[in-house]
A and B are shown apart, each in its own frame.
Chain A
Amino acid sequence: DVKVTQSSRYLVKRTGEKVFLECVQDMDHENMFWYRQDPGLGLRLIYFSYDVKMKEKGDIPEGYSVSREKKERFSLILESASTNQTSMYLCASSSPGQGRGTEAFFGQGTRLTVV
């Protein structure tokens, strides 16, 4: 069974803390994504990686960074957490190309609360 696993389902952190969200996929996918989801705003792309050590900014990269040292793992880092980063964070992976092969598989999400 295809699997994208996020390290935590719920997380509570303090303002100013450095926060690491981990995502691992077992499908040998080249592409990995980090989104945040807020009510009424849909899924907004934070960062995208198309290969190991490669990354591209999405629509809302401010306050975030990412790391992809291994193909299966994509980490999202909040350098100094702020209350406006309280959100649901979703990781996804896909293979490049056309057709159904571009289907993205999502993890179950990490609900992060910054207090």
Chain B
Amino acid sequence: GQSLEQPSEVTAVEGAIVQINCTYQTSGFYGLSWYQQHDGGAPTFLSYNALDGLEETGRFSSFLSRSDSYGYLLLQELQMKDSASYFCAYQGGKLIFGQGTELSVKP
């Protein structure tokens, strides 16, 4: 089966950089996605890594290492509006999510 592990919560201050890690155990792996969900809202897509390396989208970057079954989401120049839950998701036909990391950004 598939499983993904990520920390349950992370706290950081405005302007800082935070990294949310995700390790996975799966087979038939296509890639790793990241989603953001604000309280009361629907998850929204942030990024996708099919190949090893770093993908950058503005303040957000995502990294994948297939050999280590590991990825991370890097958020730079944190803003209060980044307070949300972040999910890594295994992409392989089905779309399987980790349990989510609740990020709290403090002033």
Q: Which residues of A contact B (CB under 8 A)?
A: 31, 33, 35, 40-45, 48, 50, 56, 58-59, 90, 92, 94, 96, 98-100, 102-109
Q: A9 → chain B, closest Cβ, in Å?
A: 11
B interface residues, tally (CB under 8 Å): 24
B46-94 residues at the A interface, CB under 8 angstroms:
48, 50, 87, 89, 91, 93-94
Complex: how many Å from CA A105 to CA B94?
A: 14
Cα separation A44 to B100 with both chains bound (whole Å)? 11
Cβ contacts A to B, 15 pairs, < 8 Å: A42-B98, A42-B100, A43-B43, A43-B87, A45-B97, A48-B93, A48-B95, A56-B94, A58-B94, A92-B43, A96-B93, A98-B30, A102-B33, A104-B33, A106-B44
Partner of A45, one of B33, B91, B96: B96
Residues on B facing A (Cβ under 8 Å): 1, 8, 30-31, 33, 35, 41-45, 48, 50, 87, 89, 91, 93-100
Once bound together, how far apart are the Cα atoms of A92 and B42, in whole Å? 10
Contact A103 B100 (CB under 8 A): no
Q: Which residue of B lies closest to A104 (CB)?
A: B95
Q: Are B30 and A102 in contact (CB under 8 A)?
A: yes
Residues of A within 8 A of B50 (CB): 98-99
How far apart are the CA atoms of A81 and B94 in the complex, in Å?
25
Q: Measured between C-beta atoms, what is the minimum distance from B100 to chain A in Å?
A: 5
Residue among A31, A50, A104, A105 with most chain B CB within 10 A: A104
Contact partner, B94, options A48, A106, A107, Cβ 8 Å: A48
A102–chain B nearest beta-carbon distance, Å: 5
Whether B31 lies near A102 (C-beta < 8 A) is yes
Query: Is A103 touching B94 in the complex (CB atoms < 8 A)?
Result: no
Contact A90 B42 (CB under 8 A): yes
Smallest CB separation, B91 vs chain A (Å): 5
Least Cβ–Cβ distance between B96 and chain A, in angstroms: 6
A51–B97 CA distance with the chains assembled, in angstroms: 21
| 3 cross-chain pairs, A with B, having the tightest CB-CB distances, nearest first | A42-B99, A106-B42, A43-B97
Measured between beta carbons, the chain A residues less than 8 angstroms from B98 are 42
Q: A4 — nearest CB in chain B belongs to which residue?
A: B42
